[in-house]
């Protein structure tokens, strides 16, 4: 009876902790549902990625599992984002809410795992709560591309829980389940490849599985003999615990590492050691440890990007190195009485290794808050367990409650503030420039956001700062050229686009914009050559394909234009401008039924101002010599305030209509109506 009451009491406590963590996390991140896409990889991952935003299709699934060049290999993340777009459409708020839901699930799984491991309900709850609401985590939740972090962590924690059940029940099917979840997690983000090493330290504590099968007495021995005997004693540990059970995870880790390296090497994403030497990367790693610990304790000046340094102060490197070594030695010495210190510290260092920067790819930062998603668990474990041991006395429980409340309130409100910065690209990169003044990414991305809003003058001020501070960055010249085009200074824009190309000959956007300028100036052959270069550099870019098709259409080369519009429409089938271009291209090349199908689609999708659609449909009936229907749709176009008469006189699609008796009647009737008005 007592056992039943205790079980019921513990169940209620668990439910309370779960609800409290969930509600407080939602409170901390409230407003995330209104956030916009960020112009830092959100566009590449979702907003302009036709494979993602078109949802789940066989072709898109094949793309997700290929080495597609967008990033390292993580097909499960791509599939997750595809599924979201299939269900919710291209809505940033809904996709970010799923990030938050996964983060809450991760916190609850962490609570369940620590409770299962230690039985310390409130300590486990406190670690999970701080993990859920710490401001350093905002980057991994409020930035959509970090779906890979929260998703991979979700599968990692599922694998962790299954492994604990295996240890307790010794059923190898549970080991297989754990391996399965780990494999799925690796396909979401390979950064979780530290899992088998985390399991090894968890075997030490709290599982206490590293029991010696034979102990050799090393007391009163010569130093060298003592070391040898200790090593022999270590070898008598349960090797099955140390290694055999971890083999499936180690093999999966090795496979993931090879696949990840191949995927980034294939597309030349890896930064070689000639650019950034190995010793410099190691120096930065020890400095980053200082920064991570500072941000954990004082998460005030957080930025989405910390540029990799050009130089590292020797004093700062030595401080980081000495701190790391000293703390490691102290925690090792106290491992018998306070094993959580060593385990938590090892968790932190091991989980940090994949993002240490020893191997770098893409735009690699000095350090990043998102890299702390899993490593911070180790720090939280050692802090919560150690404080629980240290705070003793008559008022210990009161002090613990006060400390928990203070930390909870502090972190929850700091997270709310940090979450606001991720509302849109302007607020995010404005904050980034406050924390890290004149960083190259912040200056560029805030200007891009302003350009998209049509605030060209403001954008130019940031771009001018960027060109002054970073004169070899081609994106500043390209974006400045876009601003000059909007300002009417085409000659100035040409100079800046050419400068951008001289700095980066593969900058397809500069070729495209330069081509559009020459097209507007009537130099179509030169424009075609430039846009053709852009298409060779990036053949999958829909905007380039569409622009190339438009230019060919302008030059009267309709048959050549058609495949470009077909490609663009296939990739961006919901883009109405592209579908209109395709309809007209079908019409000019004599594919009248396909053209009519496209116009009918446009008629359904567009709610207002359909005059140009009806006019196009009238053109098809003219080509088919179905003049009554042609007149009906011309009248519909006029009812939608489309100036039919202005275009009708020279439009080749109406050649048949103009040579028929119906044309004169239609024109005469329109003149009579105008007189009556």
- The Cα 663–Cα 527 span in angstroms is 38
Tokens of 175: 């080991």
Answer with the residue of higher pLDDT: 490 or 392.
490
In Å, what is the CA distance from 326 to each residue of 115, 124, 165, 353, 399? 30, 27, 35, 19, 29
pLDDT at residue 28 greater than cutoff 80? yes
The tokens for 470 are 């970073």
Q: 624 in helix, strand or coil?
A: coil
CA 337, CA 46: separation in Å to the nearest integer?
50
pLDDT above 90 covers a percentage of the chain that reads 77
Instruction: Write the pLDDT tens digit of every residue in 531-571.
Output: 999 999 999 899 999 999 999 999 999 999 999 999 999 88
Cis peptide before 206 (omega within 30 of 0): yes
Q: What is the pTM of this model?
A: 0.90
Tens digit of each residue's pLDDT (9 = 90 or more) over 399-444 = 999 999 999 999 999 999 999 999 999 999 999 999 999 899 999 9
Mean pLDDT over residues 139-155, rounded? 97
Q: Supply the DSSP string of 169-211, one letter for each residue.
A: H--HHHHHHHHHHHHHHHTT-GGGGGHHHHHHHHHHTTS----
pLDDT band of 215, cuts 50, 70, 90:
very low
Q: Is the pLDDT at 2 greater than 80, yes or no?
A: no
What is the pLDDT at residue 636?
93
Question: How much of the chain is helix, strand and coil, in % rounded to 5?
Answer: 75, 0, 25
Within 10 angstroms of residue 91's Cβ, the number of other Cβ atoms is: 14
């Amino acid at each position: 009876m007592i056992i039943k009451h205790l079980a019921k009491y513990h169940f209620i406590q668990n439910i309370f902790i779960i609800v409290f963590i969930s509600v407080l996390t939602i409170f901390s991140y409230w407003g995330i549902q209104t956030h916009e896409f960020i112009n830092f990889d959100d566009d590449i991952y979702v907003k302009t990625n036709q494979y993602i935003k078109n949802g789940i299709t066989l072709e898109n699934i094949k793309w997700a599992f290929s080495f597609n060049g967008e990033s390292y290999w993580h097909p499960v993340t791509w599939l997750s984002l595809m599924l979201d777009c299939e269900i919710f459409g291209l809505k940033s708020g809904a996709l970010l809410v799923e990030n938050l839901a996964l983060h809450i699930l991760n916190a609850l799984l962490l609570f369940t795992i620590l409770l299962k491991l230690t039985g310390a309900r409130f300590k486990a709850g406190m670690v999970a709560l701080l993990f859920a609401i710490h401001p350093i985590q905002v980057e991994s939740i409020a930035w959509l591309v970090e779906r890979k972090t929260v998703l991979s962590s979700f599968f990692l924690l599922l694998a962790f829980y299954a492994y604990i059940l295996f240890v307790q029940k010794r059923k190898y099917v549970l080991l297989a389940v754990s391996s399965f979840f780990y494999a799925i997690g690796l396909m979401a983000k390979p950064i979780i490849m530290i899992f088998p090493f985390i399991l090894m330290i968890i075997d030490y504590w709290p599982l206490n599985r590293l029991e010696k099968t034979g102990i050799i007495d090393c007391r009163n021995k010569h130093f060298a003999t003592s070391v040898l005997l200790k090593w022999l004693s270590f070898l008598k540990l349960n090797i099955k615990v140390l290694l055999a059970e971890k083999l499936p995870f180690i093999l999966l880790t090795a496979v993931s590492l090879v696949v990840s390296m191949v995927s980034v090497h294939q597309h030349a994403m890896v930064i070689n050691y000639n650019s950034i030497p190995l010793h410099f990367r190691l120096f930065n790693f020890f400095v980053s440890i200082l920064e991570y610990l500072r941000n954990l304790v004082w998460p005030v000046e957080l930025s989405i990007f910390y540029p990799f340094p050009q130089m590292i102060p020797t004093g700062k490197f030595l401080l980081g190195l000495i701190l790391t070594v000293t703390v490691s030695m102290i925690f090792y010495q106290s491992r018998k009485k306070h094993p959580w210190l060593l385990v938590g510290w090892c968790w932190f260092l091991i989980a940090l290794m994949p993002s240490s920067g020893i191997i770098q790819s893409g735009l690699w930062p000095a350090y990043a808050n998102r890299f702390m998603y899993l490593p911070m668990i180790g720090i939280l474990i050692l802090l919560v367990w150690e404080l629980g041991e240290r705070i003793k006395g008559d008022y210990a429980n009161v002090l613990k409650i006060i400390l928990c409340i203070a930390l909870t309130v502090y972190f929850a409100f700091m997270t709310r503030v940090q979450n606001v910065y991720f509302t849109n690209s302007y607020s995010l990169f404005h904050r980034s420039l406050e924390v890290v003044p004149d960083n190259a990414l912040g200056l560029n991305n805030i200007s891009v956001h302003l350009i998209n809003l049509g605030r060209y003058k403001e954008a130019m001020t940031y771009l001018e700062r960027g060109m002054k501070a970073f004169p070899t960055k081609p994106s500043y010249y390209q974006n400045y050229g876009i601003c000059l085009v909007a300002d009417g200074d085409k000659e100035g824009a040409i100079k800046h686009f050419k400068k951008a190309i001289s700095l980066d000959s593969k900058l397809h956007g500069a070729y495209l914009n330069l081509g559009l300028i020459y097209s507007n100036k009537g130099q179509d052959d030169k424009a075609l050559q430039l846009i053709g270069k852009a298409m060779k550099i990036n053949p999958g870019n829909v905007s380039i394909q569409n622009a190339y098709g438009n230019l060919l259409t302008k030059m009267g080369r309709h048959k050549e234009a058609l495949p470009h519009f077909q490609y663009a429409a296939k990739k961006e089938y919901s883009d109405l401008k592209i579908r209109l271009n395709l309809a007209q291209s079908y019409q000019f090349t004599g594919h009248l039924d396909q053209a009519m199908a496209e116009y009918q689609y446009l008629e359904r999708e567009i709610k207002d101002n359909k005059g140009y659609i009806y006019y196009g449909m009238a053109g098809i009936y003219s080509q088919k010599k179905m003049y009554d229907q042609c007149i009906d749709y011309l009248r519909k176009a006029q009812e939608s305030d489309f100036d039919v008469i202005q275009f009708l006189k020279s439009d080749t699609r109406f050649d048949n209509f103009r040579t028929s008796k119906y044309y004169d009647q239609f024109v005469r009737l329109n003149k009579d109506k105008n007189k009556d008005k």
